[in-house]
């Protein structure tokens, strides 16, 4: 009997999944990758995966897909709507509120003191 090559199995998508859609023409891939790295570091045991997706001109959006139903995706950040890129502190708080509400983010949870 001849040895046969094993048939590659498709990878299963793991949830919850974060999708970071970015504008490649604006050269925002590195920003998207850095954002992904920061989120994976903070939520390594909570997130299933993070996907980087090239998108239309001017796009930088972060979505949470909680399960297999992609239509249930939640828009966590949109640069055009917010008028700016996300501060990691703000984005981590939004991700945390959906995937691990009990998680303490340490210094990222501290509120700014008025007048300072």
Residues 6+ positions from 10 with CB-CB distance below 8 Å: none
Q: Is the separation of the CB atoms in 112 and 89 below 8 Å? A: no
pTM for the model: 0.84
pLDDT at 101 over 90: yes
Average pLDDT across the chain, whole number: 91
Neighbours of 59 (CB within 10 A): 19
* Mean pLDDT score, 40-57: 97
Domains of the chain: 17-101 (3.40.30.10)
Q: Give the pLDDT band (50/70/90) at residue 70.
A: confident
Q: Is the separation of the CB atoms in 16 and 70 below 8 Å? A: no
Scanning the chain, the segments in alpha helix (DSSP H) are 29-42, 79-82, 88-99
pLDDT at 65 over 70: yes
In percent, the amount of the chain with pLDDT more than 90 equals 74
pLDDT at 109: 76
Give the long-range contacts of residues 86-90, CB within 8 A, separation 24 or more. 86/35, 86/62, 88/35, 88/38
Q: Give the pLDDT band (50/70/90) at residue 14.
A: confident
pLDDT at 100 over 70: yes
CA distance 55 to 75: 15
Smallest Cα–Cα separation from 35: which of 52, 48, 23?
52
Q: Which residue has the higher pLDDT, 21 or 69?
A: 21
């Amino acid at each position: 009997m001849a040895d046969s090559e094993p048939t590659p199995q498709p990878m299963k998508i793991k949830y919850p999944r974060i999708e970071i859609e970015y504008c490649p023409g604006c050269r925002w891939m590195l920003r998207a990758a850095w954002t992904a790295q920061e989120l994976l570091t903070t939520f390594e045991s909570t997130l299933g995966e993070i996907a980087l997706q090239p998108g239309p001109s001017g796009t930088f959006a972060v979505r949470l897909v909680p399960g297999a139903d992609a239509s249930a995706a939640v828009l966590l950040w949109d640069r055009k709507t917010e008028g700016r890129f996300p501060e990691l502190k703000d984005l981590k708080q939004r991700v945390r509120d959906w995937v691990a509400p009990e998680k303490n983010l340490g210094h990222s949870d501290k509120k700014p003191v008025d007048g300072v």
